[in-house]
Every structure is written in structure tokens, then in C-alpha cells.
Structure 1
Amino acid sequence: MIEKITNGGELQAMILRSNYTFDGIQFFTPDEFSQQLAYMKRPTGYVIQPHVHNAVAREVLYTKEVLLIKSGVVRVDFYSDAQEYYESAILRAGDVILLAFGGHGFEIIEEAEIIEVKQGPYAGESDKTRFVPSVQELKIKGAE
């Protein structure tokens, strides 16, 4: 299952749950996203033709992150660009999340191993603005 997190009608994040399945390949992100998220299921013996990726100039304005929860349980809190909380989701082992826009924070509910993929090169602290969230009433997706 794919869940879309939106704020004010704008896509902020996508969660690909561990139980998602689809025969073939399925892309979830718009072509213009600088980080693409897809799912692929192929049968035994299927061949992906060898290929190389061409040098194509791209302009990346915002960092997009993909996290794979390898183990554990993680709560992700979503914030608007104005740093206002609007909802949370629970991620479990095997879940994948693409963080596209807006703000986010995490609390580890059960010890977790997380694999992160994002664009480089790393810009250091100039890449993000840290903030202290106000007291929030959690609206949690995936808590069941």
C-alpha cells in the first residue's frame, strides 16, 4: 500500500508499506521529483537489459530523503514549511518513506536500523534549518 502525506493539498511524503506488492514496475513519484521512488517485482529469470546512465545536468533545489526501516518502530512527525505540526505516521520494519517537502522529525519507538538515501553532495548545516516544535496533539497514521 502507498500512503500520500499532504499538507494544504501539496504532496509532502510517500510511505510504501512493507506489504505492498505489484507485478512489474510501479513509479510513485512525479517525473519532476529529483528523487524517484519505485517498486519492482520481477519473476525468476527476468532480465533487465544492461545499461549505463548518461550524464544529464540536473538542478536540485531541495533535498529529498528516502528511508528504509530495516528493523524497529519509528514515528515520523510532519511539519509545514512554517514549522507547524500537522500529523504523524508510524513506520515499521520493511516500510519505506520518501520525504519530499515540508519538515519532519522522528522518535524511535523501538530500537531501529534505518537506511537513508538522499542526493549529494552534502551541504552540511546549510542544508537544513533545525527548530523546536511546539506542543502537539499527535495525529498518527499506521498506529494500529
Structure 2
Amino acid sequence: MTNTYRDSKGNVMALVIPAEHSVTGIEFFTRDEDPQQVAFMGHPAGHEIQRHYHNPNPRTIDYTCETLVMRKGIMQVDLYENREIIHSFRMKAGDIVTLFSGGHGFKMIEDTEMVEIKQGPYPGPADKTRF
């Protein structure tokens, strides 16, 4: 079971896939038009995904999405709309969150390790506004 957090207009701000989540096959959590595609895959030993490559496909992305994969620890995630906190939750090792919109901040509750994945290229300081 995933957790989806939305802003006051119903837009998805964050999608959390808990460490315990499991399916057989492929489960997509995002729509085709979303700027970041997120899926969970569970396949038995011996299963093969046919070799492939991705064709050139120009895209326009207005905002940076980021995905965090928790490897160790516990972290509090705060989500903001108009600089006001509207959601707060904790993540643990094995959890994954994709942040689609709004503001966000993090507080480490325990020593934490995570992997961050986001779209490039990185434009430098123009990428974010701190508040």
C-alpha cells in the first residue's frame, strides 16, 4: 500500500512506497503525463525483461521532481503549500518517496543514509528557493 499526499487543490505532492510494499509483476503509481515515472516491479527468479533502449524523446519539464530511497535511519518529511506545512510523515530504511510539487524539508531522527534521484541537467542555484 502506498501513501499519496496532496495539496489543497488535489495535486499530488508526494508518493511514498513503504519498504513492505510488494507485488508480482509491474505496478505503476504515476500517470503517463507525470514528469517522473514511478513503478514497482516484482519478478520471480528466471524472469527476464527484454533488452531495450529508450528512443530520443524531447521533453519539457517545468519543475524538478526528486526521489529519495532511504537506506538507513529514520527521517521526518514535511510538505509545504504556500510555505505553510500541510503534511508531515516519517520514513525508515527501505522506504521510497517521490516529491512532485510544493515545498519540502527534512529532519534526521536517526543517522540517515539515502539516495537522491532527480532530473537533470542541474541549473545551479536557480533550481530552488529556500524558505
Category of TM-score, reference length = shorter chain = over 0.9
Residue in 2 aligned with 1:75? 76
- RMSD, matched Cα: 0.6
Is it true that 1:91 corresponds to 2:82 in the alignment? no
Which residue of the partner structure matches residue 129 of structure 1? 129
Equivalence for 1:108: 108
Distance 1:102 1:73 in 2: 22
Structure 2 Cα separation of the partners of residues 101 and 30 of structure 1:
15
Amino acid at match of 1:57: P
Tell me, in whole angstroms, the C-alpha distance in 1 between the residues paired with 2:102 and 2:33: 17
1:119 aligned residue: 119
Mapped to 1, the partners of 2:34 and 2:117 lie a distance apart of 14
- TM-score (ref. length: structure 1): 0.89
**How far apart are residue 121 of structure 1 and its match?**
0.4
AA in 2 matched with 1:116 = E
Shift of 1:7: 1.4
Please name the residue that 1:6 is paired with: 6
Instruction: Give the distance between the partners of 1:34 and 1:87, measured in 2 at CA.
Output: 22
TM-score (norm 2): 0.97
Equivalent pairs counted in the alignment come to: 130
